[in-house]
Amino acid sequence: MLMVHSSCPPFLQNPKLLPSFSIWLKPFSTIRVGDWSYSQRRISLCLTKATPEENFKTLSLEGVNQGDDDEYDGEDGFFPAGFRGKDDGKDYDRDPEFAEILGSCLDDPEKARSKMEERLRKKRNKILHTKTGSATPMKVTFNKFDFSNSYIWFEFYNTPLAKDISLICDAIRSWHIVGRLGGCNSMNMQLSQSHLDKRPSYDAIQGANVTPATFYNIGDLEIQDNLARIWVDIGTSEPLLLDVLINALTQISSDYVGIKQVVFGGSEFENWKENWTSENAGCSIHKI
C-alpha cells in the first residue's frame, strides 16, 4: 500500500511516515486521490509504504510518464533521469579544505575566493612548473667530428646546478645505453619509413640481417664552470645517434637549463683548461 506526501494537501501529511525517495512530476500534472483532484505546476512527491492502520486504500497518478519516456528511466518510470543514487565522483571528505571552500561558495563567495587563492599560493609549486631553460635555440656546430674518437663540447649560459648536471648525465647515459644496444640504427627504420595510410607491418628477418650500429664507448662528463665535455667512440658512422642526442639536448635547453651551443669534434675549446682537476673550484667529473 502506498501513500502520498505532498506540500499541497495538508491532510495527507503524516510525520510518522519516512520518505524513501522523491520524484518531480511533469508540469501541470494531475493527482487524484479518491474523490479529490489537484493540479499544480511542479509537485514534489514522496512515496512510502503505509502502515496497515492507514485508511488510504488506492492511489492513482494520471498524467505521469505519458509520452516523455526519456525523462524517466527508473523502474516503473518513477525515477528521474538524474537519479543515480550515491555519486561515484571524488570523495571530498578526504580533502576537508576543498570541501570547506565548496561549502562556502553560495553563502560567502568572496570568502571562498580568498581561500582558493590562498590554497593556490601554498600549493603553487605542485601545480605550476615554470620553465628554467632558454627561449633562444641551442646552436649546433661540427668541428672535424670523428665518430670513433671525438669530444662533444657544451657551453651553458650559466654554471649548471647539481640538478641540471644530474639531468644531463641521465640523458647522456640513456642515449649511450640505447645506442650500445643498437636502438639507433638508420638501416632498419621499417615503421618510420612505411606509409601512414597502411597497417604497419614488421619484417623480423630484414631487421635481424641489417648491419649492426653499436655505440662502442663513452667517457665521463667533465665540467668547468659553464663549460662541459664528454669523449665518445660511436664506432660506426651513424648520424641517427647524433640526431637523437641533439633532440634531447634541445628539449633540455628549452625547458630546464639553457645550453648556448653544442660542438661536435675538436680537441680544444675556448676557456677550457686541460690542467684543471676535480679539486679546483668549479671543476667536477661525473661518471656516465
Closest by alpha carbon to 146, among 13, 273, 267?
267
Number of CB atoms found within 10 A of residue 197's CB: 5
Selection from 174, 154, 179 nearest residue 236 by Cα: 179
Give residue 16's pLDDT. Answer: 46
Strands (E), the chain: 2-5, 21-24, 29-33, 36-40, 44-49, 60-62, 139-142, 150-156, 217-218, 221-224, 227-233, 259-264, 283-286
Q: What are the chain's domains?
A: 2-77 (no CATH), 92-127 (no CATH), 139-185+212-269+280-286 (3.30.70)
Look at residue 86 and give its three-state secondary structure: coil
Q: What is the mean pLDDT of each run of 10 residues along the chain (288 residues)?
A: 47 46 46 49 44 45 44 44 47 66 77 81 67 91 95 96 95 96 92 82 92 92 96 92 96 95 94 82 90
The rounded distance, in Å, linking the Cα atoms of 100 and 92 is 9
Provide the whole-model pTM: 0.56
Phi, psi values for residue 221, rounded to 5°: -85, 115
Residue 153 gets which letter from DSSP?
E
C-alpha cell at 51: 502502515
pLDDT of residue 117: 82
Nearest 5°: the CA angle 243, 246, 248 is 110
In sequence order, what are the beta bridge partners of 47? 4, 21
- Residue 94 has a pLDDT of 66
The C-alpha cell of 158 is what? 650559466
In the block, which residue shows the cell 493527482?
A: 31
Predicted pLDDT at 32: 52
Q: Name which of 247, 274, 179, 167 is nearest 217 in CA terms.
A: 179
pLDDT for 153: 98
Q: CA–CA distance from 181 to each of 109, 117, 127, 176, 177 (Å)?
A: 60, 50, 37, 9, 6
Query: How confident is the model at residue 276, as a pLDDT?
Result: 83
